[in-house]
Structure 1
Amino acid sequence: MKLALAAGVKEVREKRGLTQTALAHLPGSSQSRIAKMEAGDRSVSLDLLVRSLLSIGASSAEIAKWIRRAETRRAA
């Protein structure tokens, strides 16, 4: 699930034309933390992934879509 949300962060960030540094300011994080997030680093919490997605305008429906996609891949 973390990997799916991490991919979502990168996808939405790039769609919005934001740098990792610009995104980091929104949830009060750092650029290096955003880089770890996008790389799927295990140390990044689900909470930070979801807060970051919401801070850049991802809808709850989009977040649910990424979670469903992760669950579908796991079941296969």
Structure 2
Amino acid sequence: MEAEKKKKLQSKGWVVGDVDEFLDLDQADLEIIDMKLALADIIVQKRKAQKMTQAKLAEALGSSQSRIAKVEHGDPSVSLELMMKALIGLGSSRQEIGRAIG
């Protein structure tokens, strides 16, 4: 946001901040979110490269299609464990996973 616009809003009583402040996220939270989104992107790419549906991946993992959809969208309710299980099930190596989360 432009400094002038921010100053104008503040002068009228508005509180100006960013998403992390609003959601009270610390640096660790932001890093975890970035990692989960990176992993989700890799899961989608690998699944599509193998011409696999969400339902087929879910079946292979003993999960549900709706859960895989949540995995692929980085839903906060999805555990990192399930994301890792999906990646391993799609043939990812530890090195690939490590590169994905940087």
Shorter-chain TM-score category? 0.7 to 0.9
Match of 1:22 in 2: 56
What is the TM-score with the length of structure 2 in the denominator? 0.64
Q: SS state of the match for residue 26, structure 1?
A: helix
Q: In the alignment, residue 48 of structure 1 is paired with which amino acid?
A: L
Mind listing any 5+ residue stretches in structure 1 that lack a counterpart? 69-76
Q: Equivalents in 2 of 1:59, 1:16: separation in Å?
A: 16
How far, CA to CA, are the matches of 2:77 and 2:51 in structure 1? 26
List structure 1 runs of 4+ shifted beyond 2 angstroms. Answer: none
In the other structure, the counterpart of 1:73 is none
Structure with the bigger RCO (C-alpha within 8 Å, sep 6+) is: 1
1:45 alignment counterpart = 79
How far is 1:27 from its partner? Answer: 1.4
* Paired AA for residue 47 in structure 1: E
Alignment pair present for 1:4 and 2:38: yes
Identity %: 50
Q: TM-score, normalised by structure 1?
A: 0.85
Q: Secondary structure at the match of 2:95?
A: helix
Please give the alpha-carbon distance, in whole angstroms, between the structure 2 residues aligned to 1:38 and 1:64: 18
